[in-house]
Amino acid sequence: MDQKPLHISNRTPLLDRINVPADLRRFPESDLRQISDELRAELIDAVSITGGHFGAGLGVVELTVALHHVFETPHDRLIWDVGHQAYPHKILTGRRDRIRTIRQGGGLSGFTKRSESEYDPFGAAHSSTSISAGLGMAVARDFKGERRNVIAVIGDGAMSAGMAYEAMNNAGSMDARLIVILNDNDMSIAPPVGAMSAYLSRLLSSKSFLSLRHLAGEVARHLPKRLEHAARRAEELARSFVTGGTLFEELGFYYVGPIDGHNIDHLLPVLKNIRNSTETGPVLIHVVTEKGHGYLSAEQADDKWHSVAKFDVVTGAQAKTSSKAPSYTTVFAKSLIQEAEKDERIVAIGAAMPSGTGLNLFGDKFPKRCFDVGIAEQHAVTFAAGLAAEGMKPFAAIYSTFLQRAYDQVVHDVAIQKLPVRFAIDRAGLVGADGQTHSGSFDLAYLGVLPGFIIMAAGDEAELMHMVATCAAIDDAPSAVRFPRGDGMGVAMPEFGVPLEIGRGRIMREGTSIALLSLGGRLAECLKAAQELGAYGLSTTVADARFAKPLDTDLINRLVREHEVVITIEEGSIGGFGSHVLHYLATTGALDHGLKIRTMVLPDVFLEHDSPVAQYDTAGLNARHIVATALAALGREIAELPARA
Distance between CA 626 and CA 540 in Å, rounded?
12
Farthest CA pair distance, the chain: 98
Task: Say which DSSP state 394 is in.
Answer: E
Tell me, letter by letter, the H, E, C secondary structure of 321-367: CCCCCCEHHHHHHHHHHHHHHHCCCEEEEECCCHHHHCHHHHHHHCH
- Go through the chain and tell me how many residues it has: 645
Q: Are 560 and 550 in contact (CB under 8 A)?
A: no
Distance between CA 5 and CA 142 in Å, rounded?
44
Helix axes 577-587, 553-562, angle to 10 degrees: 70
Is residue 544 helix, strand or coil? Answer: strand
Phi, psi angles (nearest 5°) of residue 174: -120, 165
**DSSP string across 557-575:** HHHHHH-SEEEEEESS-TT
Is residue 525 helix, strand or coil? Answer: helix
Using CA of residue 293, residue 297, residue 302, residue 305, what is the dihedral sign? negative
* 272-301 exposure pattern, b = at least 16 Cβ within 10 A, e = fewer: bbbeebeeebbbbbbbbbbbbbbbebbbeb
Contacts of 296 (CB under 8 A, 6+ apart): 5, 316
CA 450 from chain centre, in angstroms, equals 24
Alpha helices in 145-206 (DSSP H): 162-172, 195-205
If we measure between CA atoms, which residue out of 49, 131, 53, 46 comes closest to residue 435? 53
Task: Say which DSSP state 390 is in.
Answer: T
- Fill in the amino acid letter for 387: L
Based on C-alpha coordinates, what's the Rg of the chain? 28
Strands in 565-570's sheet, in edge-to-edge order, are 506-509, 540-544, 514-519, 565-570, 596-600
Task: Say which DSSP state 134 is in.
Answer: H
If we measure between CA atoms, which residue out of 40, 32, 24, 131 comes closest to residue 77? 131
Give the residue numbers annotated as catalytic, written as ranges.
291, 377, 405
Using CA of residue 295, residue 298, residue 300, residue 304, what is the dihedral sign? negative
Please state, as a whole number, how many other Cβ atoms lie within 10 Å of the Cβ of residue 95.
21
Task: Say which DSSP state 372 is in.
Answer: E
Which bin fits 547, alpha (ψ -120 to 50), beta or left (φ > 0)? Answer: beta
Distance between CA 98 and CA 114 in Å, rounded?
16
Is residue 417 helix, strand or coil? Answer: coil
Phi, psi angles (nearest 5°) of residue 509: -160, 135
